[in-house]
């Protein structure tokens, strides 16, 4: 079931999501968080850091698994998602870095790496929550619209619109990797709870589709409708077409 929550601003998305994640961290003895990168979850992470600094949150028993990583970027590359996570969360809280997992996009054998990563996901009895952003084309993780979607962690080709959207983080679009390694749809649906956040008008069409009673590989996020506990937190612009 999908539960929609419309808030006034980007900041409020982060505050609300951080309350939900903080509750999960507090009530589980070994919390496992599925995390995302991109601009959307930065507000969530800064609110979690704030709660940690106020001594209201302890990350010492937290494990994390990330959705995806660019192929070809070493982890010390500032554009890599590993680097992003260190900068925006891991280095700012008392998490044990050994308990943080991302696919390795610089692995020599990427197919083996995808299998290794899926095994890591399966090694957790529960992933208590999966954080998601959404592409304006409806992608989640890097599961792009196509006639088929991957169930499990796979190597994927990024669509032109994703390369264009992500080029804002690079010097120019020719530097954006063309491939990524991403959790599949079933890997994502394994989580007990899913929190998808979106802000801005560019996401409004994709969010509108999530409110109808259809699923389509053209909107990969629509597969979230098969999950029993999905929370979508959006600002007014992203909610523009919701009735």
Q: Compare residues 68 and 118 and give the one whose CB is closer to ligand F6R.
A: 68
Closest CB to ligand F6R belongs to which residue?
133
Among 51, 68, 100, 105, binds ligand F6R (CB under 6 A): 68
Burial degree of 243 (CB within 10 A; 0-12, 13-18, 19+): exposed
Shortest distance (Å) from residue 223 CB to ligand F6R: 14
The H or E element spanning position 231 is strand 230-235
Q: Compare residues 10 and 58 and give the one whose CB is closer to ligand F6R.
A: 10
Among 36, 114, 149, 230, binds ligand F6R (CB under 6 A): 36
Q: Which tokens hold the place of 127?
A: 């992933």
Shortest distance (Å) from residue 84 CB to ligand F6R: 8
- 182 vs 233: CA distance, rounded Å: 23
Q: Which residues lie below 8 Å from residue 171, measured CB to CB, with a gap of 6+?
A: none
Asked if residue 190 binds ligand F6R (CB under 6 A), the reply is no
Q: Cα torsion for 201, 166, 110, 101, to the nearest 10°?
A: -70
Q: Are 220 and 139 in contact (CB under 8 A)?
A: yes
Among 14, 103, 105, 135, binds ligand F6R (CB under 6 A): 135
Binding mask 138-177 for ligand F6R (x = CB under 6 A): -xxxx-----------------------------------
- 58 vs 55: CA distance, rounded Å: 7
Among 5, 15, 22, 39, binds ligand F6R (CB under 6 A): 39
Among 38, 43, 138, 184, binds ligand F6R (CB under 6 A): 38
The DSSP call for residue 239 is T
**Total of residues contacting ligand F6R (CB under 6 A):** 14
Which parts of 1-75 fold into alpha helices (H)? 10-27, 42-53
Among 7, 21, 40, 90, binds ligand F6R (CB under 6 A): 40
Catalog residues that contact ligand F6R under the rule CB under 6 A: 36-40, 67-68, 133-135, 139-142
């Amino acid at each position: 079931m999908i539960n929609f929550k419309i808030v006034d601003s980007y900041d409020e998305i982060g505050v609300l999501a951080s309350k939900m994640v903080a509750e999960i961290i507090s009530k589980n003895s070994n919390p496992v968080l599925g995390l995302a990168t991109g601009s959307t979850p930065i507000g969530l992470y800064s609110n979690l850091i704030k709660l940690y600094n106020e001594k209201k949150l302890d990350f010492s028993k937290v494990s994390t698994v990330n959705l995806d990583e660019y192929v070809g970027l070493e982890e010390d590359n500032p554009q890599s998602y590993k680097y992003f996570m260190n900068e925006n969360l891991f280095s700012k809280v008392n998490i044990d870095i050994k308990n943080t997992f991302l696919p390795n996009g610089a692995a020599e054998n990427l197919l083996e790496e995808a299998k290794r990563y899926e095994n890591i996901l399966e090694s957790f009895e529960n992933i208590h929550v999966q954080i998601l952003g959404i592409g304006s084309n409806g992608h989640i993780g890097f599961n792009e619209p196509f006639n088929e979607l991957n169930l499990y962690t796979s190597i994927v080709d990024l669509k032109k619109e994703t390369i264009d959207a992500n080029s804002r983080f690079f010097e120019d679009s020719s530097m954006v990797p063309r491939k990524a390694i991403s959790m599949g749809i079933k890997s994502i649906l394994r989580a007990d709870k899913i929190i998808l956040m979106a802000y801005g008008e560019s996401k409004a069409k994709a969010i509108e589709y999530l409110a109808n009673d259809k699923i389509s590989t053209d909107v990969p996020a629509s597969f979230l409708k098969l999950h029993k506990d999905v929370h979508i937190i959006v600002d007014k612009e992203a909610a523009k077409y919701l009735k």
